[in-house]
Structure 1
Amino acid sequence: MVSPPPPPSAAGAHHRTRLTIPIVDSKRRIIALLGGEPRDKERWKLVVDGAAKEMEQREERIRLSAREYQHRRAQEEYAALTCGPSFGTGQTEPGDLHTNVANTAVTDELMHHKFFLDIVGFTMLLMSIYAPRLFARYQKCKDDLLAWKQLRWNFDCSVLAACTWNFGRAVTRPHRDFGNLAPGWCPVTALGDYNPDLGGHIILWELRLIIRFPPGSTIFIPSAIITHSNTPIQPHEKRHSFTQFTSGALFRWVANGNRTDDDFLATASPEEKAQRDQAAGTRWEDGLGFFSTLDELELLYKTQ
């Protein structure tokens, strides 16, 4: 169980615009991003309202056990369906996540729906603009994985391997997604019908921020290292969410030359092991280096 720091102060922490707003650290590195929405607000409302409706229409078809509704992230029970390439939980190599036939039909339909293609396209555009080095790192991991094996990538336009649809009353308790890449970004898109002034805010505990998070908004956070949660919504309301991510284990598999950690240690040359040990010593600094700064982006886009 994560023990978050003391609750943040709500004063001055609410985001009441739909603009794209970077969240920066003391070095002006963009460590998180409030994604806002595209300029065509009327069309975007059709997209996000339609995406929520598509989820609601399929919710009754989901087949999960009672225990699967009671996962560690949830304040109350809700259904969550994940699909895409992953590595872990007993797998000997990366592969596609599997579920039952009913749930696979639901995720396949949502994954190919234009509304979710639009959401993914918008999030990838923002990520490529505000975190170009991080975006390139994800792209290389994707390219290396698909060169090794023809995995089923969810969205051709996305550099992120997997996604989760959270249905119904998706309000989370404080948690970290420790399986994701530590310096990576996880886009979270809020959907549904709830009053964002009364609930559904996202809390970034270590940053001491409470952020107003209306339906149709997206936030990009390093979800493996920042504790995050939501404030409750009203009893009659619905809040869905759509999240995208890549397992950190996929990056390790690629770094190991398409091998598990155990296989790498058993077969690697002394030089390869020395290089890995050296990289481990600077992993935190190297990870921070994937975040772009406001200054370098200003210079980059000024010269284009």
Structure 2
Amino acid sequence: MQVVHWNGEPTPLVDADDNILVGLGGFPPDRNGSDWQRDVAKPAAEAMRAAAIQIYSLPRWMRKRFQHSTNRRGGHAAKSVGPSMGGGQPYPQNLSHTPRLLAIFSALFALKCFERLAGWGNTLFEAFSPDLFNYYRAKLAEVSANDPRIHLNFPLKFSVFSTATFNFGPATITLPHIDFRNLAWGWCSITALGDYDPDFGGHLVLWDLKLIIRFPPGSTIFIPSAILRHSNTNIRDHEFRFSFTQFTPAAIFRWAYNGFRTDKDVEESKFTTAAEHEQRRRDKERRWKEGIKMYQKWEGPIRTL
């Protein structure tokens, strides 16, 4: 394994074909009195800590640090919110929560710091992979316009992802896993937050690439989480680490491709012609190759890790 001492500066990681496979997004430079850590990263972490105490109660939330987990992602407290599909949902719909939880999530999304996190993520996504970004934006726009019951976490100008997960910690340390419900060639956005020293823990581990990446609080990284096994290293006992992730389930893209129907509905319909079945078979065979073509070719100097 190779340790990457990343300082938070936007950096592409390319594959053997010079495609940008991973985007180390980092955070924007401070200008005109703006301070990313002071104005965005720290307020977001404080808001997540306050929300976690509201949701779980302080003693229960703190016990999560020491709890053994059977969850494949880890033992930390976490909640997902926003439009999703898969896991039994027959069509895209917002994940179900109590009115109290929805009020807490709405309050988080309304904060300027989370708006800026999402907006910066959009900027990075478009810069690192414009074709993939446009694909995400177009499909989410189609799906949300088709069904007025769908409520996006952010307007599309701030985020092209449908769904978000608040990993409330208090020590968000994920176990090695892949997010198999995500789009195979798609990206998810991971923003690290909290009060921890990135030199001593909280690193992102990309097992298939044999990389251990320093992950400073307030920075964002994009990975194809459905194909790269990933996890985080531990942090010290007195530290706190949260993360805010955004993604779009693959089933939402399939829903749009099918004309707002499921694969089963189309394939079992008596109105689907033999020619349409054949076209779907061909599309399925070439889908991965077409998806990989959305990756941006890197034409700048290659940074030696």
TM over 0.5, yes or no? yes
The one-letter code of the counterpart of 1:52 is A
* CA–CA distance in structure 1, aligned partners of residues 214 and 145 of structure 2: 41
Alignment correspondent of 2:120: 122
* CA–CA distance in structure 2, aligned partners of residues 9 and 43 of structure 1: 31
The one-letter code of the counterpart of 1:219 is I
TM-score, normalised to structure 1, is: 0.89
* CA–CA distance in structure 1, aligned partners of residues 188 and 142 of structure 2: 20
Pair 1:164 & 2:155 matched: no
* CA–CA distance in structure 1, aligned partners of residues 100 and 240 of structure 2: 23
* CA–CA distance in structure 1, aligned partners of residues 177 and 215 of structure 2: 17
Pair 1:200 & 2:234 matched: no
The one-letter code of the counterpart of 2:5 is H
TM-score, normalised to structure 2, is: 0.89
Report percent identity of matched pairs: 42
Q: How does 1:63-102 map to 2 (within 5 A)?
A: 63=56, 71-74=71-74, 77-102=75-100
1:282 is paired with a residue whose SS is helix
Alignment correspondent of 1:137: 135
Alignment correspondent of 1:258: 260
Instruction: Judge which range, 56-65 or 194-203, deviates more.
Output: 56-65
* CA–CA distance in structure 1, aligned partners of residues 251 and 8 of structure 2: 34
Contact 1:81–1:103 (CA under 8 A) maintained in structure 2: no
Q: How does 1:27-46 map to 2 (within 5 A)?
A: 27-40=17-30, 43-46=35-38
Query: How many positions carry a matched residue from both structures?
Result: 285
Alignment correspondent of 1:290: 294
Pair 1:220 & 2:222 matched: yes
Contact 1:70–1:78 (CA under 8 A) maintained in structure 2: no
* CA–CA distance in structure 1, aligned partners of residues 214 and 56 of structure 2: 32
The one-letter code of the counterpart of 1:265 is E
Contact 1:81–1:107 (CA under 8 A) maintained in structure 2: no
Pair 1:237 & 2:228 matched: no
* CA–CA distance in structure 1, aligned partners of residues 172 and 54 of structure 2: 17
1:294 is paired with a residue whose SS is coil
* CA–CA distance in structure 2, aligned partners of residues 262 and 63 of structure 1: 39
Contact 2:19–2:295 (CA under 8 A) maintained in structure 1: yes
The list of structure 1 runs, each at least 4 consecutive aligned residues, that deviate by more than 4 angstroms after superposition, is: 63-67
* CA–CA distance in structure 2, aligned partners of residues 269 and 32 of structure 1: 40
Contact 1:204–1:227 (CA under 8 A) maintained in structure 2: yes
* CA–CA distance in structure 2, aligned partners of residues 117 and 111 of structure 1: 7
1:200 is paired with a residue whose SS is coil
Contact 2:80–2:163 (CA under 8 A) maintained in structure 1: yes
The one-letter code of the counterpart of 2:96 is H
Contact 1:84–1:153 (CA under 8 A) maintained in structure 2: yes
Measured against aligned partners, the alpha-carbon deviations of 1:54-106 in whole angstroms (never above 9, x if no partner) come to 11112111159999x752200xx321111111112222211110122332222
The answer for unaligned runs of 5 or more in structure 2 is none
Alignment correspondent of 2:154: 155
How far apart are residue 257 of structure 1 and its match?
Answer: 1.1
